[in-house]
A and B are shown apart, each in its own frame.
Chain A
Amino acid sequence: MKPETSNVKLMALQLRRKTHESVVYIDRDSAPRIMPSGEDFILEDLPIGTRVLYPNAPIKGLPNREAAIRYALNHPHECDPLFAQLEPGMRVTIAVDDISLPLPPMATPDIRQSVLEIVLDMLSGHGVDDVHIIIANSLHRKMTEWEMKRMVGSKIFDEYYPDRYYNHDAEWADGLIKLGETKHKEPLTLNRRAAESDLLIYVNINLVPMDGGHKSVAVGLCDYESLRAHHEPQTIRDSDSYMDPARSELNHKVHRLGKIVDEQLNVFHIETAINNRMYKGDMDFLLRNEDDFTAFDRMKFEAMRYTMSKMPRPARRKLLHSRPAQYEMIACHAGKTEPVHEKIIAKAFDQYAIPVRGQCDILITGIPDISPYNVYSILNPLLVQVMGLGYHFNFYRNKPLLKKGGVLIVHHPCYDEFDHKFHPSYIEFFNRLLPETRDAFVLRDKYEQEFANNPSYIEMYRRGNAYHGAHPFFMWYWGENGRQHVGKVIAAGAENAHVPAMLGWDRADNLTEAIAMARSFMGSSAEITMLHQPIIGIADME
């Protein structure tokens, strides 16, 4: 055997060496990888040596969801069981997470429905009739009637909607009450009904480690002034990352606000963790290593790709949004917020943490049509930005997956499309403000309050289904630590030049060109890692 051949084989063996089930290295005979790019799925041959991170295998769901919920309610952490806290005639408010969790919306029955059915039954059995269910949408868009019905089931919906089952309104002055402020002068104003109830029950679904805990009440039910104290660029810059609660300044600030909540409200927190079985059956191959595909898997992919290639984009979007996630509950805890959240976060990391050694020079991520802010809607340019520089970049613990100054390649068409009903203020932000500046601090100081107080946007938030006028600013801040960290962002597959330019990104026709551009920036021996989307996973960096 010639020495060169021997070396190549040795390298191949090293590359094949698996450090973890979810970490795969591309070899000469590796299959091309599937990559989502908006509403499309493309097949790409990656350079040899590229490290690909897959989602961990789903933890087995609890066999009896209802039993687990009942057990949690009866064995809470650091407080009396729920039934022991109930008295006839008391005023109870149940707050639930909004449509941004989980993603995509899960197959019915939603976990919230299961929890609510049990809790409402218990309340009724104890003579508690004054019950309101409030969606903790904060400054997110209000959920539509159809979405609200889907989330809780028709029985609860028919009984409570619209008088006792409704969206939180962060702009209804009479419906809010100021609880106080932290020693750092962060104000906290909450939903009055929730704050003045004898008992506030919060029903959470934890999808990423940023969710849940004190964020549920202190953010989900607050007003704009309370939110802007921590949804600001410096807090995001200081969060390393915001998916790592221990090192998230955002989490620390919310924690301080949560202390005020705990002092003044009686909160019974019900948190649930889910596995990452986003798809099963006809689309489960999207979560698996392409090298392990069967002929049937390849056939399913080709059939899907062919079908979608014949459809216009809105129809593709509609099709993707009609596929509910198949998440299963893997843990349920109830009681005081902090101990409950600690247990759920530990379980979430069990599911999501992928041990990774070594940062990369180039990070590739396809941007799927999945985000907390475009459910049944369009992933507009600002949301592409928040998914790339925000969520996907922040999927790490200890240190970023991408080296400081490295290149982030996002794959998305970057179409200039916005949803006028859901994202009206995003349009003005993108077209009027970004050409002037991309500096998050300038944007906050100069324009945030103008947008937040724009009467049109407020009315569209209150009476329609629009995100709050200030929301596009939060989306921009959300990408702030990513923006400060990366040396360059390349939008591969962008169908136009102006959207990447407005976002401050370079553009490439395809992934091959983007990788060549990134290598010219980082050097030809640059180490490449790809997040195999859709992924909910945290790179647990050594």
Chain B
Amino acid sequence: MAAAAFYDLEGTLVSTNLVHTLGFYARNEPGLLRSLKKSASTLLSLPMFAITDQYSRKVFNDLYFKRYKGVKEDRLRFLADDLFFSVLKPAVFPGAYELLEKSRSLGLRQVVVTGALDVSVKPLMEHLGIQEYVANRLEFVNGVATGRLLPPVMAAATKASWIRVYAEREGLSLSDSYAYTDSMSDLPMLSIVGHPAAINPDMRLRQTALHHDWPILNLK
């Protein structure tokens, strides 16, 4: 039976996280004053992001994506390539290429399941040769972001349920599939496959991985 390798993206295959992306967009706001203002407010939000991420990924997402309110869709698409070349591409872990190559050589379908924005990650997916990926989508009204996400919101248990549905639809064996992530919030995703692994894990996921005897990889 066919199988797949499911990857989280940020912190797993690349060293950046969602806040780097937000910071990049803030820096690239049109006009010096707006750019400074947006960058400063992003910077000030960091402690709040850190705390809410520890508490709940859903709450984090609610707060985080509100920062995109008012941003135009065409601007996000316009900056996507710049974001890729200046932020994402240099941040790909050296071991990520090896891991993907080995995994691909085994005939596993390569699927990225990320909480990042679909427009931001598209160039990176092309660079990594990944055709199948699911990411979060901002809601736009008349081409302007509302700060809300369209369902399904890719985080925590939603990733796991998306994978389950996807595997069923595609005829994939989850017992023979692999999952890789760096964050404790993705524990459900690790729990539903036969070969879970933690990559550069945070402290909580490291403890969980040790407890469950899962492999712990360092792709740096």
Which residues of A are in contact with B by a Cβ distance under 8 Å? 418, 420-421, 424-425, 427-428, 431, 453-460, 462-464
Contacts and interface: CB of A to CB of B under 8 A. Distances in A.
Given A463-B219, A464-B218, A455 B5 contact: yes
B106 A457 contact: no
Interface string B202-220: 0000000110010111111
Q: Which 3 interchain pairs have the tightest Cβ spacing?
A: A456-B215, A456-B197, A427-B213
B98 A457 contact: no
A418 B213 CA distance: 9
Contacts of B215: 420, 424-425, 456-457, 460
A454 B213 CA distance: 15
Given A455-B5, A460-B216, 5 more contacts: A455-B178, A456-B195, A456-B197, A457-B215, A460-B215
Contact of B98 (A418, A454, A459): A459
Nearest to A424: B215
A351 to B, nearest CB: 41
A460 B217 contact: yes
B147 to A, nearest CB: 38
Contacts of B213: 418, 420, 424, 427-428, 431
A462 B195 contact: no
Nearest to A431: B213
Contact of B217 (A427, A453, A459): A459
Interface of B: 5, 95, 98-99, 102-103, 106, 178, 180, 195, 197, 209-210, 213, 215-220
Q: Specify which of B5, B99, B103, B217 lies most central, judged by the most chain A CB atoms within 10 Å of its CB.
A: B217
A425 B95 CA distance: 19
Given A455-B5, A455-B106, A420 B210 contact: yes
Contacts of A428: 213
A178 B2 CA distance: 31
Nearest to A427: B213
B219 A458 contact: no
Nearest to B95: A463
Given A420-B213, A427-B213, A428-B213, A455 B102 contact: yes
B102 A464 contact: no
Contacts of B178: 455-456
Contacts of B106: 453, 455
B99 A459 contact: yes
Contacts of B103: 455
Contacts of A456: 178, 180, 195, 197, 215, 217
A462 B197 contact: no
Given A420-B216, A431-B213, A453-B106, A459 B95 contact: yes
A472 to B, nearest CB: 13
A380 to B, nearest CB: 11
7 contacts: A424-B213, A427-B213, A428-B213, A456-B195, A459-B95, A459-B102, A463-B219
Contacts of A453: 102, 106
Contacts of B99: 455, 459
Nearest to A469: B215
Nearest to B93: A463
Contacts of A455: 5, 99, 102-103, 106, 178
Given A456-B178, A459-B98, A459-B99, A464 B195 contact: no
A521 B28 CA distance: 81
A463 B218 CA distance: 7
Nearest to A430: B213
A457 B103 CA distance: 11
B195 A454 contact: yes
Contacts of B197: 456
Contacts of A424: 213, 215-216
Nearest to A425: B215
Contact of A462 (B98, B209, B210): B98
Contacts of B209: 420
